[in-house]
Structure 1
Amino acid sequence: MKRLATVVVVIVSGGILYIAWYATGGGWVGRLSGIITQAASFPQQAKPNIVFILIDDMGWRDVGFMGSTYYETPAIDQLAEQGVVFTSAYANAPNCAPTRASLMSGQYTPRHGIYTVAPSARGDTRDRKLLVEETETTLNLEVVTIAEALKTAGYSTASVGKWHLGGPGYLPTDQGFDVNIAGNARGSPPGYFWPYQRENNLGTLLRIPGLDEGGEEGEYLTDRLTDEALAWMEQHVGNPFFLYMTHYAVHTPIQAKPQLAQKYHGKAVSNGQQNSDYAAMIESVDNSVGRIVAKLDEIGVADNTVVFFFSDNGGVGTITSMAPLRGMKGMLYDGGVREPMIVRWPGHTEPGSSVDTPVISVDFYPTILEMAGVDHSEQIIDGLSIVPLLSAGLPARGEAKPSGRVAELTVLAERPLFWHFPAYLEGNRNTDGPWRTTPAGAVRQGDYKLVEFFEDGSLELYDLGTDIGEVNNLAEQMPGKMRELHNLMIDWRNAIGAYVPKALNPEYIPTEGGAQTAQLEPMCR
């Protein structure tokens, strides 16, 4: 067996000590894990408030600042003008729950075990070539969440909206949040209009906890959640706070306020974007963002508040378009995992700037901890702080000159990003075969991205620098690069203990209609 040498990289900058392990085998193989600890010299300053706005199922191009001319998002676009836009920001998975678990933990999916939205074995068993293990559905209580880490530094914490990481015993209030408004185990709302209830096909009444009362006819879920968030911020203005504003929108069911949808009727189709109800849902989200930003100004904390804007996975292919990206929610092509992302940190970020360095949602954990000056050395963290990318070329607060964190910028630019999705997601059998994706994994390093499908071991290599649409598979033309990235992915899986399905399904029946990846997505799960 080939031996791997271990290299320890230690960087001390800005009062923060970074410790990261790397495995090498004739070159860079990948950062296996990292721990961030707070150094004693961390500069004394007011701890910033953190507002993390997470949108559900919003595609990479579903906002004006990323090029959409159909959807109208003036408030989000203004936030982008005031902060930093990340053009290569990624979710850790192509659907909801695993990305949220990685965001809360700072860990890749093999560590927390939430690979997909249950069940892992979707679709007809006769179409599944491999047997797959069931995904975890709850975030382990031993994981120290962002909220729990921030609580140790005196933060007030609230989760408002979708949770999707477990029910009773695993709710936000069990994971470090003082307040849970509307969060439970479900990934989609029963409906977007009060009283937010419906019966399922078994006669069970589905509801959103805590929102039954206090509403009125016509009340809209996105507006109600925003109202709750604004009231909570106003009540906690005297203390550093962490608001996890996690909208159910724009997840199905596609239900919009009629007066907003009306304005999009007849609007010209733009790059495949044409759904007026979906456009109105996005506009409601935009109104929410505008109200949150305005409230920060109103209560006098905007200058000491970091605002994040992000989505948990790609958009739904039958509802919106991710073009020029390939794929959609449920796929490891960029259309399924590449997200719109903004960070506004007054005094640190340069208004109207952009960053092309690839980042991924496990990075939010160490980033927020660094911003807050929080020590949490006992937790393994797979992400890296992106603070150097936010303040590159700008003086850090309290410093006369730019921070000059050159070594960290190099690490961020050169490190690989990984995806591991050992599960099946069904597609539209009528038009596309059975699958959106079969069990797969992927890695991106620099401009090159490799996708591996576990059923047959097929490999696809793309140069995202020249082929953002992942059209030209370079695996045959560049076998050396293909092997390099494949070995990188194998070494990472071995190091992190990633489960790879290999056992054949005895009920599998090969058919000509089978496909590695479907082109459309009929459902949003």
Structure 2
Amino acid sequence: MSITTATTRRTVLRGMAATGLVAAAGTTAANAGTGPVRARPRADLPNVVFLSIDDLGWDELGSYGNTFNETPNIDRLAAEGLQFDNAYAAAPLCSPTRAALVTGLYPVRTGITDFLRQEPAASNKYLSPGIPTVPGVLGPRGYVSGLVGKWHLTETYSGAYDQRPGNPFAHGFDEVLVSEQQYIADGDYFHPYFFMPELPAREPGEHLTDRLTTEAVEFITRHRDDPFFLHLSNYAVHTTLHGKPELVAKYAAKPGADQAPNRPQLAAMLECVDDQVGRIAATLEELGLAENTLFLVTSDNGGPYRDANRPLRGGKGELYEGGIRVPLVAHWPGTVAAGRRTAQLTSTIDVLPTALALAGGRPGAEFDGVSLAPVLTDTGEVDRGPMFLVYPHFIGATHPHAAVRHGQFKLVQYLRDGRSELYHLVQDPGETTDLSRPHPAKARQLRALLEAHIAEVDLFPPTPSETAYPTLELDERFDADLSHWTMLPVPTGGPVGTVGVADGQLSVSAEELTHVVLRSEVAPGSDEVALVLDTGAFAEAGTQDTVFVGVAKDADNYLLFRYHNGHKRVGFDLRSKGRLVTAGQEPHGNLDGTVDLTGPGARYAFVLRGHVATAYADQGSGWEFLFTADTGGVLDLGDPTVRAHYRYATSVRLDDGTITLDGVTARRRG
């Protein structure tokens, strides 16, 4: 697949290449699932307006039962259209859900499974233009594609906007308006906006949601004679909550304003979004487009406030229902019958296949999502089979986990130890009663489906074994001298303590703070290797009894997984040009106190695949997944020219006593 970029003839707000209406890009992406594209009359090509609300919980709307927030316009759309009771975000956080929206794929297939960090995040992730997205799928059918608002699918926030990796123009969006120039962080809702410093206000005291509304109305008006797909991507109601003062005062004066889960600031911001929905609907009516436009309103993930999500369990960042169940309203006069509610299971991944089907295409296996056209038109149901969700990260109190929903049942599985929970969501939507024991056959069935999916999407590299990594590259038992190892004090010139070998062990002793890296002579033979450290004894004194395993170039450049025995704490150190790179690191504090590498047979593994390294630990009963470290933005070990400068390494840091290591083994695949 190739991507070409071209400037359109239409340029509005000249010079605002990142925030106003800007130059467009075209794609030569293959037309997914359609075969040859045949021209259809304009009247046969419905428009799609997909309006997303950031961090909106499943029951914050009046039509879903909320009695504090006021959302009359969205409620009217629900009354005149279709409301989904089993709608899911594709992920419990924003970036992966956004990737799923524009691709129709599970987030794991896009490489984006967590929210994207700001530059200089070590990972440097972005949505690859090599993956077909909305413009590449609908563009060949004559559609204009627009993005108004939040993108959040790149970690690069410097340089020309349309040259940043993964920017929406690289994916072929024709128009991009009021999209972030700088990292969004916790939001900014009144002009001037810190993440769009070059964007001029269009009216005094401008509120961001109102600005998005104006831009969306103008986009629709400009393209009233073209079929279009518009993603109106709100920044609200993401924290930090900052509503219009008069609306905040209105809600603060309402009965129950000071009682959870009511939040006057959120209600004020949501009312602005609801006004936006009303203006969009009115514009479609005034232009005679309402009966030819599918208007969808939803959220990118569950709400962050657990009390507001009840009776659902959990919230944003979790694969329990509170983190992924979202509102979804579909409005399309003359096509979607009024006053309907459906229990049809649906997900963000269904939006693009649905749009393609409505445009005359035949979405197939190239998508994970399915077309909801039969549900919208009330001509049938969709048998989608199992629906999968994967969140292999730490955030807040969350540990890496995955889930599958199939029919009325849902299984949640933790990725470290395989522990799983089974719930009947019709009888127990709050996921309060684990049915794994009373229904073992159902638990086994769903566990098999989920584990097959995890294997199929190749979520993690294989655990260390001779079968998975048959080629031996390093086998150090410390039964000879250390002539094949180089001792590198950190920092350079610092103490190295007393290092030696005896009785098949490496020993490092020190009476002051000492950090020494031992670099072997062996470079990783490919970008798929497993390096295993057999731990020995730890220092009984001091506070810095830490061992490391990974790769090193020198004392100023290395990637090492660490284990601190005193705190039973794991993590990684990425040092580049003498500087420890910590920006964008995923927090691993949830693992503190849960890993003990002092017992018989304890091992710690650094498993490399491309620019991602995965940590596994064996506490004596088999390998367990711990965490991943994506360092591609700083150290891309998938690049053979980079990898050639690095060698397998181990390391010790202590300030008193002696640490011993029993051995280091490296193997590669193929």
2: CA distance between counterparts of 1:480 and 1:376? 33
Q: Does the 8 A contact of 1:422 with 1:499 survive in 2? A: no
User: Partner of 1:357: helix, strand, or coil?
Assistant: strand
Residue 494 (structure 1) aligned with residue 455 (structure 2): yes
Letter in 2 for 1:290: G
Residue 280 (structure 1) aligned with residue 268 (structure 2): yes
Give the corresponding residue for 1:195.
192
Give the corresponding residue for 2:293.
305
1:483-515 Cα offsets, whole Å, 9 max, x none, are 11000101112222223797997348459x969
Q: CA deviation at 1:389?
A: 1.2
Q: CA deviation at 1:293?
A: 0.4
Give the corresponding residue for 2:318.
331
- Could you say if the C-alpha distance between residues 391 and 117 of structure 1 is closer, same or farther in structure 2, counting changes exceeding 3 Å? same
- Could you say if the C-alpha distance between residues 196 and 514 of structure 1 is closer, same or farther in structure 2, counting changes exceeding 3 Å? closer
Letter in 2 for 1:506: Y
Give the corresponding residue for 2:75.
77
Which residues of 2 match residues 153-192 of structure 1 at below 5 A?
A: 153-166=141-154, 167=156, 168-184=164-180, 186-188=183-185, 190-192=187-189
2: CA distance between counterparts of 1:118 and 1:302? 35
Give the corresponding residue for 2:563.
506
Give the corresponding residue for 2:47.
49
Stretch moving more, 35-44 or 154-163? 35-44
Which residues of 2 match residues 342-491 of structure 1 at below 5 A?
A: 342-374=329-361, 380-393=366-379, 405=380, 409=381, 411-412=383-384, 415-426=385-396, 435=397, 437-491=398-452
User: Partner of 2:126: helix, strand, or coil?
Assistant: coil
Q: Does the 8 A contact of 2:83 with 2:329 survive in 1? A: yes
What is the TM-score normalised by the length of structure 1?
0.77
Q: Does the 8 A contact of 1:422 with 1:501 survive in 2? A: no
Give the corresponding residue for 1:6.
none
Q: CA deviation at 1:258?
A: 0.4
Q: CA deviation at 1:392?
A: 2.2
Residue 114 (structure 1) aligned with residue 112 (structure 2): yes
Q: CA deviation at 1:348?
A: 2.2
- Could you say if the C-alpha distance between residues 466 and 140 of structure 1 is closer, same or farther in structure 2, counting changes exceeding 3 Å? same
What is the TM-score normalised by the length of structure 2?
0.61
Q: Does the 8 A contact of 2:363 with 2:370 survive in 1? A: no
Residue 315 (structure 1) aligned with residue 303 (structure 2): yes
- Could you say if the C-alpha distance between residues 346 and 477 of structure 1 is closer, same or farther in structure 2, counting changes exceeding 3 Å? same
2: CA distance between counterparts of 1:118 and 1:295? 34
- Could you say if the C-alpha distance between residues 333 and 461 of structure 1 is closer, same or farther in structure 2, counting changes exceeding 3 Å? same
Identical aligned residues as a percent: 38
1: CA distance between counterparts of 2:366 and 2:94? 22
- Could you say if the C-alpha distance between residues 78 and 510 of structure 1 is closer, same or farther in structure 2, counting changes exceeding 3 Å? farther
1:301-352 Cα offsets, whole Å, 9 max, x none, are 111111011100011126x611111111011100000000011223321111
2: CA distance between counterparts of 1:180 and 1:292? 18
Letter in 2 for 1:96: C
Q: Does the 8 A contact of 1:327 with 1:336 survive in 2? A: yes
Q: Does the 8 A contact of 2:47 with 2:229 survive in 1? A: yes
- Could you say if the C-alpha distance between residues 187 and 442 of structure 1 is closer, same or farther in structure 2, counting changes exceeding 3 Å? farther
Letter in 2 for 1:182: V
User: Partner of 1:342: helix, strand, or coil?
Assistant: strand
User: Partner of 1:81: helix, strand, or coil?
Assistant: helix
* Relative contact order, higher structure (CA 8 A, sep 6+): 1
2: CA distance between counterparts of 1:227 and 1:58? 22
User: Partner of 1:148: helix, strand, or coil?
Assistant: helix
> Larger % of strand: which?
2
- Could you say if the C-alpha distance between residues 52 and 188 of structure 1 is closer, same or farther in structure 2, counting changes exceeding 3 Å? farther
> Larger % of helix: which?
1
1: CA distance between counterparts of 2:361 and 2:124? 28
